[in-house]
C-alpha cells in the first residue's frame, strides 16, 4: 500500500506541476503575442488623411502626435486605440521648416495655436538600426508602452533562463545552446519554446528527444505562421 501511495503521490505532484507549467507558458505566450501585435501596429500604422487627425485633435482627449520627416516628406503619427496607430503622410515637405509648416497648417484647421496642440518630435525617438534589424529578438525594446516593453523583455529573459537552467529531462531539445541561438537569431524562438517544451519532468523516464534541427524547423514554421497572421491582422486594421 505504501508503494502504491507513493506512486499516486508522485503522479499527483507531476500533474500539479504540469498545470502550473502550462499556465505559466500560456501567460508568457499571451504576453509575447500582445507585444507582437503592438509592434505590428507601430510599424504598420493605418494610413490616414489630415481630416482624421484634425478630428482627433478636436476631441475632448486629443492624442499625442509624433511629427517626423524623411526624404519623402513629413509624417504625423498618433494612437487611436490600444495597439492601433494612424499615420498621415504629407509629401513635398521635409526638414525642420517642413515640420513647422505642416504643424501650422494642422493647427489652423483645428482652430488652435501650434503651442496648444500635443505635437512632439518623432526624430527624437530611438528607432531600430541595422543591428536591431538583423537581431529580431530586440523588437520589444522599441515598443512605446514601457509596461509592455519591459514585461516582454522579462518574459524573454525567463525563457532563456529556463532553456539553460532546467535539467535536460525537463526538455525535449537537450542541447542548451540551440534555444539561445534560435531565440536570439529569429526572435520567434521564444514563441516556439513556449509551445514546444513542456518544462516539466515526466513521471517516469524522459520525454522523447528532439534533434536541434527540429527546433530550427519549428521556429521557421512559427515565423511563417506569425508573419502570415500578422499580414492578415494589419490588412484588417487598415480596413476598419
User: Quick one: 141 and 203 in the same domain?
Assistant: yes
Alpha carbon distance 74, 69 (integer Å): 4
Whether pLDDT at 22 is above 70? yes
Answer whether 32's CB lies under 8 Å from 152's CB.
yes
Set of cell numbers at residue 68: 517626423
| 169: phi then psi, degrees, rounded to nearest 5 | -70, -5
Asked if residues 191 and 227 have their Cβ atoms less than 8 Å apart, the reply is: no
67 shares its domain with 136: no
Q: Of how many residues is the chain composed? A: 240
- Decide which of 101, 121, 141 is a domain's last residue: 121
What total of structural domains would you count in the chain? 2
Looking at residue 7, its pLDDT comes to 45
Q: Looking at 73, 88, 121, which one is the last position of a domain? A: 121
235 with 136, same domain: the answer is: yes
- What is the distance between the alpha carbons of residues 84 and 87, in angstroms, rounded to a whole number? 10
Specify whether 36 is located in the same domain as 155.
yes
221 and 207 within one domain: yes
Shared domain for 217 and 176, answered yes or no, is: yes
3-state secondary structure of 83: coil
Per-residue model confidence as pLDDT tens digits over 75-127: 999 998 888 899 999 887 777 788 888 999 999 999 999 889 999 887 655 56
Residues 217 and 138 in one domain: yes
- pLDDT, residue 18, reads 74
- Dihedral of the alpha carbons of 47, 50, 52, 56, in degrees to the nearest 10: 120
Mean pLDDT for the chain overall:
82
The pLDDT of residue 8 is 43
- Output the nine-digit C-alpha cell for 159: 525563457
**N-to-C CA span, the chain:** 64
> Of 13-27, 51-65, 81-95, 180-194, where does mean pLDDT reach its minimum?
13-27
**1-10, 48-57, 60-69, 113-122 — which is least confidently predicted?**
1-10
Share above pLDDT 90 across residues of the chain, in percent, rounded to a whole number: 37
Residues 198 and 214 in one domain: yes
Q: What is the pLDDT of residue 203?
A: 55
Averaged pLDDT for residues 163-184 = 79
Q: CATH number, domain at 103?
A: 3.30.720
Q: Where in the sequence is the domain holding 140, given as residue range(s)?
A: 2-42+130-239
Of the candidate ranges 32-41, 67-76, 136-145, the one whose mean pLDDT is the lowest: 136-145
pLDDT at 63: 92
- pLDDT-derived band at 207 (thresholds 50, 70, 90) equals low
Task: Say if residue 111 is in the same domain as residue 219.
Answer: no
Same domain flag for 89 and 23 = no
Helix pair 176-186, 189-196: axis angle to 10 deg: 140
Are 197 and 220 in the same domain? yes
Domain boundary among the residues 89, 104, 121 is at: 121
Residues 99 and 6 in one domain: no
- Provide the pLDDT for residue 9: 47
pLDDT at 122: 78
Amino acid at each position: 500500500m505504501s508503494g502504491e501511495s507513493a506512486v499516486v503521490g508522485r503522479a499527483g505532484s507531476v500533474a500539479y506541476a504540469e498545470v502550473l507549467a502550462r499556465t505559466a507558458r500560456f501567460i508568457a505566450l499571451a504576453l509575447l503575442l500582445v507585444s507582437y501585435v503592438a509592434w505590428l501596429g507601430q510599424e504598420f500604422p493605418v494610413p490616414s488623411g489630415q481630416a482624421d487627425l484634425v478630428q482627433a485633435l478636436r476631441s475632448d482627449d486629443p492624442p499625442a502626435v509624433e511629427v517626423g520627416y524623411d526624404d519623402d516628406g513629413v509624417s504625423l503619427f498618433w494612437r487611436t486605440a490600444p495597439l492601433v496607430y494612424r499615420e498621415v503622410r504629407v509629401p513635398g515637405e521635409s526638414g525642420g521648416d517642413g515640420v513647422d509648416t505642416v504643424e501650422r497648417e494642422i493647427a489652423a484647421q483645428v482652430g488652435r495655436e501650434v503651442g496648444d496642440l500635443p505635437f512632439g518630435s518623432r526624430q527624437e525617438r530611438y528607432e531600430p538600426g541595422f543591428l536591431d534589424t538583423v537581431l529580431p529578438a530586440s523588437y520589444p525594446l522599441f515598443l512605446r508602452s514601457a509596461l509592455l516593453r519591459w514585461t516582454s523583455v522579462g518574459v524573454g529573459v525567463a525563457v532563456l533562463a529556463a532553456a539553460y537552467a532546467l535539467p535536460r529531462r525537463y526538455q525535449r531539445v537537450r542541447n542548451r545552446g540551440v534555444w539561445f541561438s534560435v531565440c536570439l537569431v529569429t526572435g520567434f524562438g521564444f514563441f516556439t519554446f513556449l509551445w514546444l517544451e513542456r518544462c516539466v519532468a515526466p513521471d517516469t523516464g524522459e520525454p522523447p528527444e528532439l534533434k536541434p534541427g527540429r527546433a530550427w524547423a519549428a521556429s521557421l514554421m512559427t515565423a511563417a505562421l506569425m508573419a502570415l497572421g500578422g499580414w492578415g491582422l494589419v490588412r484588417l486594421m487598415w480596413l476598419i
